[in-house]
Amino acid sequence: MKPRKHVWIQVNEEVPRSFWWAEFLKGHSWAERLIEEKWAGESLRWAQVVDSSRSFTLFARQKLLLISQADKALKTVKKIEELFQEFQDCPHVILLLSESAPPKAWPFEQWVAPEPQEDGRHEKAIFRWMDQIDRSDLRSCLRELELSLDAGQHPLALLQMLTRHYRMGRLVTYAVKKGLSEAEITRSLKLPGFVIQKWRKAPRYSQTQWTHIFHKLSEADLFLKSGYDEKDVLRKLSHDLCQIRLKKMKLLSARPARPGFLFGSPLLQVSPSFF
């Protein structure tokens, strides 16, 4: 297997990986397909890294060895040129992360991560997150979720926005099913026209799917307020909602609960506790 080029990544440690990783992948798309191993710090043992760089997984997959705080880790190396020579022949890829520039002996590529721009792009990630859930694109969805959290969005605020997204979607699809015009829906729900158009064109959820969507939202709300890891809760919720859209999750039959109302007509046979 022909080894790919190793890279020294110069990046501020305070900058979250999600801010620069997408930029790195634009010129190094192969990195996304490799099995990642993480190493870090002054306690790192280079003999173990070299051994790992020469061994394969059970399925002979190429690995990506990601070494953070590389400048600190290299302080323990007496003959740095010999270590880099070891890298020359290894079949895997090694990425060394550091705030500093690489040592003069570094024979491979250097890549400098861009500084995050205060242009509001990451603040809008919450909307892209919801869009990717609707498209069932889990990989993009999780990336946008990371950006939203890195931008300082509170997990409960993210859940609240997502819940409102589905509540409005349920109302719009019900109204469309009952034959109401876009003007009537806009007047009653006070939603922008593009939101209504989006839900009109979207694939329809079944009653059972709606049941499980609101169940998953309610479940995530409970988990967040019970002290579970916030990122894990939202990642699992994203996964579950994508699976529901793709009809890959085993769904239980819908169980009627109290109805909601829109324009004086029954709306939901299943209504979440926070509806």
Note the pLDDT tens digit of each residue in 199-236: 888 888 888 999 999 999 999 999 998 888 899 999 99
- Mean of the per-residue pLDDT values for the chain? 81
Helices (H), the chain: 17-27, 46-54, 70-73, 80-88, 125-135, 138-150, 155-177, 182-189, 193-201, 207-225, 230-246
Q: What is the pLDDT of residue 270?
A: 38
Residues of the chain with CATH 1.20.272: 155-266
Q: Report yes or no: 261 and 267 within 8 Å, Cβ to Cβ.
A: yes
Among 44-53, 182-191, 224-233, 265-274, which stretch is predicted with the lowest mean pLDDT? 265-274
Local confidence band at 261 (pLDDT 50, 70, 90 cut-offs): very low
pLDDT exceeds 80 at position 49? yes
Q: Report yes or no: 101 and 110 within 8 Å, Cβ to Cβ.
A: yes
Higher pLDDT, 249 or 25: 25
Q: Which of 65, 54, 114, 40 has the alpha carbon at shortest distance from 89?
A: 54
Q: What is the pLDDT of residue 117?
A: 58
Q: Which of 201, 169, 175, 205 has the alpha carbon at shortest distance from 188?
A: 175
pLDDT exceeds 50 at position 271? no
Q: What is the pLDDT of residue 237?
A: 94
Tell me: the pLDDT tens digits for 70-116? 888 888 888 899 899 888 888 899 999 998 899 999 999 999 988 76
**The dihedral of CA 22, 43, 35, 233: what is its sign?**
negative
Q: What is the pLDDT of residue 239?
A: 93
Write the DSSP symbol of residue 265. Answer: E
Q: Which of 62, 70, 67 has the alpha carbon at shortest distance from 93?
A: 62
pLDDT exceeds 70 at position 260? no
Local confidence band at 14 (pLDDT 50, 70, 90 cut-offs): low
Q: Report yes or no: 125 and 148 within 8 Å, Cβ to Cβ.
A: yes
Q: Which CATH architecture has domain 155-266?
A: Up-down Bundle (1.20)
What distance separates the 2 farthest-apart alpha carbons in the chain?
79
CATH 3.40.190.10, applies to 7-112: no
Residues of the chain with CATH 3.40.50.300: 7-112
Q: What is the pLDDT of residue 246?
A: 85
Average pLDDT of the segment spanning 265-272: 37
Q: Which of 226, 215, 225 has the alpha carbon at shortest distance from 166?
A: 215
